[in-house]
Copies of this chain bind each other. A is one copy, B any other.
């Protein structure tokens, strides 16, 4: 069964971006590049919500190139218009992912943010959580976690401080 991975870069107070979506606080170095590249090797499918998709489009991603060209991506939205080259999914995210997981393929990554992750956590469909925790409290922003109706138990698999002061953590979800 393919694994579903939720992760990204966060602040210590669990924000993925500033309130306006800005990620100017992110630190990048060779260690982050290496771990990101390793992750992408295991993945062939990317899930995102409308807001993340719109941020990705503004940053130059899109059906014409970038990660969209190499990875099968699905955008969950009931309001986005159909667009050539973009797989817009209008059905319930948990039902869709439950059908996707048993299909042959590599792992599936949930791109921030927390609004898409919440129903997947609640349905028990997320298998791994990986964060690059940055040494900052943003104070406000786009949350990595939205309130959930149940507890999710995790198992720490790895914690690795990077030279630049961020801390990579990886957890397995206990099903």
**A interface, CB within 8 angstroms of B:** 12-14, 25, 121, 129, 133, 135-140, 144-145, 147-156, 159, 161, 165-167, 169, 171
Q: Provided the pairs A159-B167, A171-B12 are in contact, do residues A154 and B137 lie with their beta carbons within 8 angstroms? A: yes
Specify which chain B residues have a CB less than 8 angstroms from the CB of A145 in the assembled complex. 13-14, 137
CA distance A14 to B159 in the complex (A): 17
Q: Which residue of B lies closest to A141 (CB)?
A: B147
* B150 in contact with A139 (CB, 8 Å): yes
Q: With A14-B145, A156-B166 given, name 10 new contacts (CB 8 A).
A: A12-B154, A13-B144, A13-B145, A14-B14, A135-B155, A135-B156, A136-B153, A139-B147, A140-B147, A167-B169
Specify which chain B residues have a CB less than 8 angstroms from the CB of A25 in the assembled complex. 151
* A156 in contact with B167 (CB, 8 Å): yes
Q: How many copies make up the complex? A: 2
CA distance A146 to B71 in the complex (A): 37
Specify which chain B residues have a CB less than 8 angstroms from the CB of A138 in the assembled complex. 151
Specify which chain B residues have a CB less than 8 angstroms from the CB of A137 in the assembled complex. 121, 145, 148, 151-152, 154
Specify which chain B residues have a CB less than 8 angstroms from the CB of A14 in the assembled complex. 13-14, 145
CA distance A16 to B144 in the complex (A): 17
Q: Provided the pairs A13-B14, A147-B139 are in contact, do residues A165 and B159 lie with their beta carbons within 8 angstroms? A: no
Q: How far is the CB of A171 from chain B (nearest CB, A)?
A: 6
A/B interface sample: 12 pairs, CB < 8 A:
A12-B154, A12-B171, A14-B145, A121-B137, A136-B154, A137-B145, A137-B148, A137-B152, A138-B151, A156-B161, A156-B165, A156-B166
